[in-house]
Amino acid sequence: MRRPSFPLWLVSGFLYVFMYAPIVVVIVFSFNVAKHGGPWTGFTTEWYQQLLRPAYSIASELKVVEYREHIKQLELRTLFNKISEILLQPRNDKWSAAINTGILAFASTILATALGTMLGYGLSRYWFPGKKLFSLLMYIPVVIPDIVMAVAMLSFYAMVRDWLGLFELGMTTMIIAHITFQIPFVAIVVRSRLAGMDPAIEEAAHDLGASSWQTFWHVTFPLMLPGVLAGAMLAFTLSLDDFVVSFFTTGPGATTLPILIYSSVKRGITPDINALSTLIVLASVIGTLGVTLLQRPAKPSGG
Amino acid sequence: MANRHQGEVRFGEQLSARGQLLRSALTSGPSILWVTVFLLLPLVGVGVISFLTRGEAGGYELPLTFGNYTRFAGWGFFGYDLLYPQIILRSIVLGAGTALLCMLAALPLAFFIAALPGRYKNLALTLVLIPFWTNLLIRTYAWQILLAPESWITRAVALVGLIEPGTPLYPSAFAIYIGMVCDYLPFIVLPLYSSVEKIDWSIAEAASDLGADGKRVFWHAILPQVMPGLVAGVILVLIPAMGQFVIPDLLGGAKTVMLGNAIQQQFGPSRDWPFGSAIAFLGMGVVLASLWFYARYAGEKGGEII
Amino acid sequence: MAIQTPAIEVENLVRQFGDVFALDHVSVSIRKGEFFSLLGPSGCGKTTLLRCIGGLDIPDEGVIRIDGTDAREIPAHKRPVNTVFQSYALFPHLTVRGNIAFGLQMKKVAKPEIEERVKRVMDMVQIAKLADRKPAQLSGGQKQRVALARAIVNEPSVLLLDEPLGALDLKLRKELQIELLALQRRLGITFVYVTHDQEEALVMSDRIAVMRAGKIEQMGEAEALYENPRTRYVSTFLGSCNLLEATVRQRTPTGAVVQTTVGELRVEGSIPDRNKFTLAIRPEKVALCAPGESAGENRIKVKVVEVIYIGSETHYVLKAGEQPLSAEAMNVKVGHQGFDIGQDAVVHLPAAGLLVLDD
């Protein structure tokens, strides 16, 4: 195929500028002196210092924990409690939003990956009556607008709360909601991984004397593992990025970063929000590059 | 098949129908239960609530009514009002418009990336992936800065004479479109690019050997080959775009309410859940109907969803 | 010779996919230590039969006995047979050594024994040097050897091979055919070999079953099958054949005289009661003679339509009136073989070479 022509360069260059303009402007304005946003008035790193201040105090508090003593005396539980107490101690709204986002993403991803992997495996391997219908229904979270999903869950939680007193809005309801929309994404990735596998490989395992369990643990699972990891990555990112579902299913004290950004922006853009966003963008860039490098297929050596 | 009831061998494993059922229950079961309890039943619940009446202090109560739907169709408390029919139309136009603009932008970009030599190709692709994985909220609110009255862009547009100097470009429908296209462009570029990569260029060469000019080569020899990616990309943009609530909320202001905002309004400040449920239920209907339409018609040519 | 239990006994096997019979009441008995081939075009049911024996598919009806034991209820992983898959189906995440050791590990064989047996088998199929490679780093022929090693290390009583050489190029295929045959003779394992390549089947097999549309059309030793095909299908699938429609003129004690499109011919052997049947004659049994040698029985005047010279032999396309005939002759003469396109000639169809077909 021929090289891109000059007009194609021009158009594509413009489109890249268009896609990156908002990212760049957030980064630039995170260094703006003006406290309440508005035009550029001067350069400062003040906002980053403010943001990272809790990190300094955490680091200094973590330093004084007597790790060796605890490990020697096998008081691992005490050690764990001490560390988590330092990490989870409320410091400022941004810090606790970050902690909440992390807890939410990790907890939901772990559960959703387990459930979604089982679903993907089950749907691609076993038959049951109504399977076609159910596999379609399972993909509804993928296709309906998140606002519809969000209000459905909100009203469900409200209903159950009225009847049973369960599901006070907060971290738990948010985790449940995230798992619900993560499951099908994990299942899709795992299923497509399984679909790409030669069925003869598992037949060969059985043929060579492996029982169903042995086949699963020694052959199927190792082969679907890349799909499981990719699914988990996807689920994790979806959770980190989610605003709409979290916004409707959260409660007092369980603010996440996207919710924090949204409510701050509604009041007016400030440089410290830009600084926070810049750090999030940085994390996305590192994450994207990391995954891209990981997915690069290993070159076969020799032959 | 008669054999299914006696059992069959799948992937080397001999299973009876009961064995399959048991294993399905153990593997797919928990997830099916989870999604059913936490999403499918609540969606049915939304459907039920949409036929109830708003309670005194928010909430919902009997009697059953079609009122929420007739109100949505325009028959409000104060006679006929086009507000909600306009909202639904605006949302569909916004979704379709975004999809169209994204498609027009993605075509040159996908061909550009595919035409780059190896190393630069990976770089160009990664540069699309980064915004794809970057929080949508951040990329959206940034346009508030970019389109503010004092920004370079606004001043340049004013200088050209398209707007009065000093007026902001946001909030406006224009800002919503800018934000939408910027946010969703990566969603269509990625599937389209993977189709462009698979193009068999010899077909295009054969067409031009046979005397077709550039335009006809594109229409008849190239476009059909990238159709699967294009259709998948349009679906990936169209569906979330129709239900978007953050982008119109941050860039549109009060005059440009979309379906998503209307739902949020009813479940949030207005506390009219039955009416909000009716809008949500209709919104879901629109999306599922367009998906069905796609699967039924476009799907035959376009390949699979997702 | 003492009567042995057959290695595999299949009785009235039926396997249906929707309306299609992949196996339509197939019965076959495979002897111990035999190299048995299932030959047929794709879709004839040969792979389905193999999969039923291996436990990778369940027949709808019929009985399968392996070493005299009813195998219907025995799952694949407990059957004393191993399969070499067409796609090789090597485990991509394991090394060559890991692939070969897999079966023994699953059966919880002691570690030193596994090591010893894996090493022996790798030496046997000459892949010891590749022990630590992953399948992705192997060539087609190497993968094939690993697939074979992985199966035979378990010392199965029967080895099932599903077109194992199908994906290899011709030269490598010929080499491996000979190696495979030598290996089978050495190990004494029963081989059930599925192929669509008639030459491969003839070269390797003790016995061949020719399959067609879910049925075994004819079964027998390679030579007998080639020399005495019973049906049009077998005669043309296994090698090529000239087919002539014949009507009985006169029955004789040793055979019959029949009328065909090329004239009157004398046929030897048992003649069916029907008055019309098909005669078959292999092209290499058709003797091409100079135009003058027309005296004697079963001699027909022909015109040479095409001459295909392929080095050691020459193939001729001939026409006797409207009836095309093909003939093949070894190029035994030094220099020009003597027949050119457009030339008149005479062919001799020896009575012993004319076969009466069943259909």
Of C56, C78, C92, the CB nearest to A223: C92
Residues B292-298 have a mean pLDDT of: 71
Say how many Å lie between the first and final Cα of chain A, rounded: 29
Residues C114-119 have a mean pLDDT of: 94
pLDDT at A303: 32
Of B32, B115, B182, the CB nearest to A134: B32
Shortest CA distance from C18: residue in chain B: B1
Q: Is the pLDDT of residue B65 over 80?
A: no
Please give the backbone phi and psi of residue B161, each rounded to the nearest 5 degrees, phi first: 100, 15
Q: Is the pLDDT of residue B304 over 60?
A: no
Query: Which residues, at least 6 apart from B224, have a Cβ–Cβ distance to it below 8 Å?
Result: none
Question: C57, B1: Cβ pair inside 8 Å?
Answer: no
For residue B147, name the pLDDT band (cuts at 50, 70, 90).
Answer: confident
Of C16, C17, C58, the CB nearest to B9: C58
Q: Given a contact as 3+ CB pairs under 8 Å, which chains touch A?
A: B, C
Tell me how far apart the alpha carbons of residues B160 and B154 are, in angstroms, rounded to a whole number.
10
Sheet of strand C299-309, all strands in order from the earlier edge strand to the far edge:
C287-289, C344-348, C299-309, C313-320, C323-330
Q: Is the pLDDT of residue C1 over 60?
A: no
Contacts of B283 in chain A (CB under 8 A): 145, 147-148
Six-digit token string for A140: 């509804």
Six-digit token string for A210: 């492996």
HEC string for chain A: CCCCCHHHHHHHHHHHHHHHHHHHHHHHHCCECCCCCCCCCCECCHHHHHHHHHHHHHHHHHHCCCHHHHHHCCCHHHHHHHHHHHHHCCCCHHHHHHHHHHHHHHHHHHHHHHHHHHHHHHHHHCCCCCHHHHHHHHCHHHHCCHHHHHHHHHHHHHHHHHHHCCCCCCHHHHHHHHHHHHHHHHHHHHHHHHHCCCHHHHHHHHHCCCCHHHHHHHHHHHHHHHHHHHHHHHHHHHHHHCCHHHHHHCCCCCCCHHHHHHHHHHHCCCHHHHHHHHHHHHHHHHHHHHHHHHHCCCCCCCC
Question: B245, A244: Cβ pair inside 8 Å?
Answer: yes
pLDDT at A221: 94
pLDDT at B87: 83
Angle separating helix axes A146-164 and B259-267, nearest 10 degrees: 20
Contacts of C76 in chain B (CB under 8 A): 9, 12-14
Question: Smallest CA–CA separation between C57 and chain B, in Å?
Answer: 5
Tell me how far apart the alpha carbons of residues C212 and C40 are, in angstroms, rounded to a whole number.
6
- Of the candidate CATH numbers 1.10.3720.10, 2.40.50.140, 3.40.50.2000, 3.40.605.10, the domain formed by B82-302 belongs to 1.10.3720.10
Mutate to test the interface with A, among C83, C139, C159 (most CBs of A within 10 A): C83
The highest-level CATH class for domain C8-230 is alpha beta
Question: C137, A302: Cβ pair inside 8 Å?
Answer: yes
On the 0-12 / 13-18 / 19+ scale of CB atoms within 10 A, A285 is middle
Q: How many residues does chain B have?
A: 306
Least confident interval from A171-180, A227-236, B53-62, C154-163: B53-62
Of A200, A210, A218, the CB nearest to C77: A210
What average pLDDT is seen over chain A? 86
Q: Is the pLDDT of residue C298 over 60?
A: yes
Please tell me the CATH code under which domain A92-255 is placed.
Answer: 1.10.3720.10
Question: A180, B137: Cβ pair inside 8 Å?
Answer: no
Q: Is the pLDDT of residue A298 over 60?
A: no
Mutate to test the interface with A, among C66, C85, C114, C146 (most CBs of A within 10 A): C85
Residues C231-252 have a mean pLDDT of: 88
CA distances from C357 to C39, C233, C245, C246, C271 (A): 19, 10, 10, 10, 10
Q: Given a contact as 3+ CB pairs under 8 Å, which chains touch C?
A: A, B
- ω into B171 cis (within 30 of 0): yes
Neighbour-count burial for C207-230, b at 16+ CB within 10 Å, e otherwise: bbbbbbebbbbbbbebeebbeebb
Q: Is the pLDDT of residue B286 over 60?
A: yes
Six-digit token string for B142: 């940034």
Contacts of C102 in chain A (CB under 8 A): 205, 208, 210, 218
Tell me how far apart the alpha carbons of residues C39 and A73 are, in angstroms, rounded to a whole number.
73
Residues B157-180 have a mean pLDDT of: 80
Q: Is the pLDDT of residue B205 over 80?
A: yes
Of A198, A210, A302, the CB nearest to C106: A210
Question: B208-249: per-residue pLDDT in tens?
Answer: 888 888 788 888 888 888 888 888 888 888 888 888 888 988
**What are the extents of the domains in chain A?**
92-255
Question: C91, A205: Cβ pair inside 8 Å?
Answer: yes
Of C18, C56, C60, the CB nearest to B12: C56
CATH superfamily of C240-356: Nucleic acid-binding proteins (2.40.50.140)
Residue type, B159: L
Question: C137, A301: Cβ pair inside 8 Å?
Answer: yes
Residues B126-143 have a mean pLDDT of: 88
Mutate to test the interface with A, among B98, B111, B134 (most CBs of A within 10 A): B134
pLDDT at B305: 38
Question: A151, B185: Cβ pair inside 8 Å?
Answer: no
Nearest in space to C62 (alpha carbons), one of C86, C45, C78: C45
pLDDT at A287: 83
Shortest CA distance from A276: residue in chain B: B138
Q: Is the pLDDT of residue B79 over 80?
A: no
Tell me how far apart the alpha carbons of residues C96 and C101 are, in angstroms, rounded to a whole number.
9
Q: Sign of the C-alpha dihedral, residues B50, B55, B59, B64?
A: negative
Question: Smallest CA–CA separation between A193 and chain C, in Å?
Answer: 14
**What are the extents of the domains in chain C?**
8-230, 240-356
**Chain C residues interacting with chain B (CB cutoff of 8 angstroms):** 16-18, 55-58, 60, 75-77
Question: C56, B2: Cβ pair inside 8 Å?
Answer: no
Of A198, A207, A218, the CB nearest to C54: A207
Contact in structure between B27 and A128 (CB atoms under 8 Å) = no
Tell me what percent of the residues of chain B surpass a pLDDT of 90.
17
Tell me what percent of the residues of chain B surpass a pLDDT of 70.
91
Shortest CA distance from C20: residue in chain B: B1
Question: A127-175: per-residue pLDDT in tens?
Answer: 888 888 888 888 888 888 888 999 999 989 888 888 887 788 889 999 9
* The most confident of A33-37, B169-173, C160-164, by mean pLDDT: C160-164
ipTM above 0.90, yes or no: no
Contact in structure between A101 and A283 (CB atoms under 8 Å) = no
Contact in structure between C209 and C28 (CB atoms under 8 Å) = yes
Mutate to test the interface with C, among A208, A213, A216, A224 (most CBs of C within 10 A): A208
Neighbour-count burial for B65-81, b at 16+ CB within 10 Å, e otherwise: eebbbebbeeeeeeeee
pLDDT at A37: 67
Q: Is the pLDDT of residue B108 over 80?
A: yes
Q: Is the pLDDT of residue B58 over 70?
A: no
Q: Give the number of other Cβ atoms within 10 Å of residue C231's Cβ.
A: 17
- Is residue C169 helix, strand or coil? coil
Contacts of C56 in chain B (CB under 8 A): 9, 12
For residue A70, name the pLDDT band (cuts at 50, 70, 90).
Answer: confident
- ω into B63 cis (within 30 of 0): yes
Tell me how far apart the alpha carbons of residues C358 and A109 are, in angstroms, rounded to a whole number.
69
pLDDT at B53: 81
